[in-house]
Structure 1
Amino acid sequence: MPRGKVCRCNYGGRFANAVLPKEAIEEVLRGKSSIFIGYTSEPHLRKRIRLIDSRVDSSRPRPHRLAICVSPIMQLAAWVLLPRFFEASSYVSFVKMWILHGATKFYAMVQSMTSEFDAMLRIYENDPTIDIERIPWGMLPTDEDVDSENNPNNQIIGAEQTLSLNDCLLRSRSSAEYVATVDYDEIFVVRNNSTLLELLDSFNSDDSDTSAFVFRSSFVFYDVKMNLSTSDQTPFIRHPSDLSFYPLRNVSLENEIYPTGSRTKVILRPEMTKSVGVHMPRDMEDEKYKTVVVDPAVALIFHLRLVDNPLGFRNNSLPNYELNKYIAQWEKQYRERIDAETKRMEKEKVRGNRITVANKEWPNRSHQTAQDMQNCASKYYLADETCTAYAKCFPNITAVRMDEWIFGESTTVVL
C-alpha cells in the first residue's frame, strides 16, 4: 500500500530493543522470576509480560526446514481457500527425502474468523506431520462504549500486518531454516524441475551470505460457474469433500509481472534478518548479507483471489496451464486428508457443537464476505484523509453477524 495511504492512520506497530543480563533471562525462562514493563514515573502500574526464547542453538538442527508466516487471519470466512494454501505449500516445497511435507511449520495469527474457517483450520491442525501454531492477534482492547472516531482499531492498517510478520519472523528463528511471508491466496510456482527448497538451497550453495529471496507475482483469474468442470465452483461448495483442485487446470495468468517491491513476497533466513516489510526485506543482522530477486522465469507467485482485485487486469491475461503438474497430487493429498479426518472422528466419537466434517452441510460465506470486504476497503482507500482500517468494515459484511465472529485473544499490554 502506498505510504501516503498508511500515513493517514494514527497508529502503527513499533519495535523496541532491551538488553537484559543473561542470568536474569534464564531465571525468567525457568519460571523463577518475572519480567515487567512500565513507566519509570509510575512503577506501581507496571505489567507482567511473557518472554519467548527464540535463540538459535547452533548445537542442534532446527526442527523445520521451511516455516510459513501468514498475514493475520482477519475477517476471514473463506474456508474454501485453505486447502489450496496448505496442499500447495506442502507440495511445491517438498524435498525428496520427505513425503510431500516441505513446509512443516505454519504460524497462524488469529484476529477474526468464522466458525467454518476455524473448522477447516482444525482439519489441518489434526495432521501429525505438520505443526500449526495459532498466535492470538486480537484487536486492541477498548471500552465497550467507545465511539468509532476514538476506537484505535479504526486507525490501524490491516491488523498491523507488518508487525505481525516481524513477530512471526522472530518466533521462527529457533525453529526453521527458512521462513516465507505469504497470504492465504498465494501459490509459489517453481518453473524449472527443482522444488522450492532445492531452489533456495541452490542459491545458498552459490553464496552462503544470501539471506532473503524476493519472489515477484502476477494475478490469476478463473471463471466461476455452476456445474461446469472447467470452472471454479467454490461459491457453491457446501462441504469440504465437495472441494476439488481440478478447476485450476484452466486459469488465466495476467500478462503483467509486478515489479520488485510491488506485490512481491519474501522467503528469509530468519537468524540473518532483523526486520521485514510486507513486500521486501528491511534490515539484516550484518551488512554482508544479501538479497536475491528470483527471476520470474524460474519461480513466480500465482495470486488466486476469490474475487477479482480491481488492480488486476483480467482482460490482459492469457490461458495458463502451469498448475496442472501439481493438481493430481494436490487432489490425492486432500482426499486422503478428508478421509483420515472422517475416520478419526468416527473412531474417537467426537461430539460437540462445533462444525466438523461430520456436518452434512457447511455455511459457505466465502465469496460474499470477500466481496463485501473488498468493496469496503476500496471505499476507504479512495477516500481522502481516511485510514483504510479493516476493522471499520465489520458492519459492511452482510453474510456474517458480529456475534458470529471468532476473535483471537487480545495479548496487548495497556499501560
Structure 2
Amino acid sequence: MYEIQYVYEDGPVTQDVDQHPLTRHVQRLTQRARAFDGRRPLVWDLLVTGFFVVAAGIDYVGGGWRNIAPNTDLPGWLIAVLTLGMSLPLLSRRTRPMAVLAVMVGFGVVNSASGAMLQIALVQLIVLFNIALRLPLKTLGWAGVLMMAPLVVGTVRYPRGSWDQQIVPQVWAYTLVALLGIAVRSRQDHTRALVERARQLEVERDQQARLAAAAERTRIAREMHDIIGHNLSVITGLADGGKYAASKSPERAAQALDAIGSTSRQALAELRRLLDVLRDEAPETAELAPQPALTDLDRLIDGVRSAGLPVRSTFHGRADSLPQGQQLTVYRVVQEALTNTMKHAGAGATAAVDVSYAADGVSVSVTDNGQGGAPSDGGRGLTGMRERTALYAGTLEAGPRPHPEPGWQVRLHLPRASAPSTALPTSKESVQ
C-alpha cells in the first residue's frame, strides 16, 4: 500500500493504491517530476528545448547531417538557421502548440526543398503530441495536414524509391504519436473525473455528518426541554403549595418539601444519564436506564397532582404491542401538555388525560379548563411534540378548545407500526 499524489491547479490529491514495488518507484518518480513541472513549468521547457538545441548543434558542427542529406553543398549559415528554427520554438510548445508547429513546418519545407533533411525536423512529433494532449480533435486534424507539407515537398524534390516508401512510414509515425497523445489525455481526464468524484463524496459525507450532528443536537435539546421543563414546573407548583400550607399545615408543607426533593433528584438523575451519553468516554461508562414508557404515565400524573393540578386520567385498552419509540412519544406529549397546563392554565384549573389503544393505533387527548393562552416558550414545546409525532407519521392538534368551552387541548394519534395485540381490551379510569 502506498500513496499517489495527483497535483492540479487547486492542490494535490492523495490516493492509496496497491502496486508492485518497481511500479511504485516509477510512479513516485513520475509524480515528483509532474509536481516539479507544475510548480516551475519554464524550467522544464528550458531543459527540453536546450537538450534538442544542443543535439542539433552537435549534428551541425560535426557534419553528421551530410550522411543522409541529398544535397551536401549547402552553406553553413543555412544549416544553422534551419537548426535553430526547428528547435528553439519548442520553448512554447505547451502554451501555443499550433503556432509553434506552423513555424516548424515553414522551416521544414525549406529543409526538405533544399535537400538538407536535418533530423531535428522530427521534433515536430513532440509538438504534435502536445496538440493531441491539449487541443480539440479538429485542430489535431489540421495539424496532420500541415505536417504533410514538408513530407510531400521532400518526396517530390528528392524521390528515393516509390512514394509510399517515403510517405507511409512518416504517416504511421504521426498517427501513433497522435494516438499516444489522445490516450494520455483520456487517462488524465479519467483521473480528474475520479478525483472530482472523490471530492464530491467527501463533501456529501461531511454534509451528512453535519446533518446527523444537527439532528442529534435537536433530539438532545428536545429531551432536555422535556425533562427540565416538566420537573421545574412540578417543583414550582410544589413550592407554591408548600408556601401556602406552611402557615396552616406544617405537615403538608413538609410533604411538599419531600416531593420537591424527590422530583429534583429524579430530574438530576435523568439529566445525568443524558449528559453521560455525550461524553467522549466509552459508552459502557455511561449510566444506562430505559426511556420512559406508558407504564410510567401513572407516576407522571401522580407527580403533577402532587404539584397541585387536579388531573383525571382515563386509559382504554392495553399497550403491550406498542413499540418503545411510540410509547416514548406518547409519554413526552402528555408530559409537555401537562407542563403547559401547569404553567399557563391559571389557578383553579383542572386537566384530563385520555389514552385509547385501538387496532389502528393509539390516541391521546389532554385538555384543561384554564384561562391561559398559548405556551410562551417560543414554541419549542409544541415544535418538539410535532417532531416526535412526525417520526411515526402521526397527527397532532394543539390549540384552544371549541367555544364556549374554556381551556386548551392537545390531541395526538399515532398509527400502529406493528401487528395489533390480541389481548382483550381493558379500561381504567382514575380521578383525583
TM-score, structure 2 normalization:
0.18
Structure ranking higher in helix proportion: 2
Higher relative contact order (CA 8 A, sep 6+): 1
TM-score, structure 1 normalization:
0.19
Structure ranking higher in strand proportion: 1
